[in-house]
Structure 1
């Protein structure tokens, strides 16, 4: 599963409307969330590292942390 899909899943579970743009024309938008009145563009990033034994778990933790800090507040 891609990180964009994971992000969309988390947003849907939190009650947001989620749109996945097919073409973004250089706007660097991976996911769009909406509360019905406003729209928020989201670009999903991942981190490659060699010092973590289980990279998948670490990346999931980082993405969850970023989501908790920024996306739930918007």
Structure 2
């Protein structure tokens, strides 16, 4: 069974006569922009991936491993 999100995504692409990949990319970009607006994430290396088959959204944050983290861009061992 398709989720309501996937149905809406497909319907939007159809109504706007756009390839589904363009709509998925636009949603990923919008989520990334919203996430980066958060002051905690403002300076972090972030990417967003939307699986158009399942509707699952994954946010990736690249961090550096450090023995003694000094900022939000580092994570401890």
**TM bucket normalised to smaller:** under 0.3
**TM-score of the superposed pair, with normalisation by structure 1:** 0.27
**TM-score of the superposed pair, with normalisation by structure 2:** 0.27
Greater Cα radius of gyration, structure 1 or 2: 2
